[in-house]
Amino acid sequence: MQNKIAAIDALSQKARILPVIVINDPADVLPFADAMAAGGLKTLEITLRSAYGLDAVRLLRKERPELTVGVGTVLDTSMFDAAIEAGAQFIVTPGCTDEILEAGVKSDVPLLPGIATPSDIMRAYRLGYRRFKLFPANVYGGIDALKAFAGPFGDLRFCPTGGVNPGNVKAYFQQSNVMCVGGSWMLPSDVIKARDWAKIEQLCREALATLD
């Protein structure tokens, strides 16, 4: 597991913000990704919240090899296997089951499992996991939860996702156990629907600038 922990650390350090992406039109994939990359977001989490997620991953892995492309909203092992087949470079789940955690141990592709409680953490901890997605962060305590986790789980790092926004993202990064954050506030649905890729680029750049 050590090499997979190191891989997650490396992509988190590079990404800082992990955009949570829903593809609703296959024609949008490349211009959407190009706009995010131009704005500084080159590590992408393509979710399986639409029917086009896996095809988007395949296309990006072929046409944009300079990007780091992962798959999110993986709910079971069949989705896990499909994400691997599509070329996912990392996998993110909203929660954790024993089956998914065990699949992640066996796979060469790093898994960032979603957790919300100490029991979730301990279930994954015994299998060697040390990096987690706190989701939905705003519902399960946010910054206060991260501060509480820092006591008993001092060697863990988290990617809080859910309710992260321009008003609190900097405060999240001030927590020593935060390695990156996930979110979609820089990807407004109306801007995507309008295919205003210049605006997406601007919003991604502004999101990263908030951290400085």
Active centre residues (catalytic): 45, 133
Neighbouring CB atoms inside 10 A of 110's CB total 24
Is residue 131 within 8 Å of residue 5, measured between CB atoms?
A: yes
* Residues belonging to the chain: 212
Is residue 92 within 8 Å of residue 67, measured between CB atoms?
A: no
Whole-angstrom distance, CA of residue 32 vs CA of residue 34: 5
Radius of gyration of the chain (CA): 16
Query: Chain centroid to CA 22: how far?
Result: 12
Whole-angstrom distance, CA of residue 17 vs CA of residue 130: 19
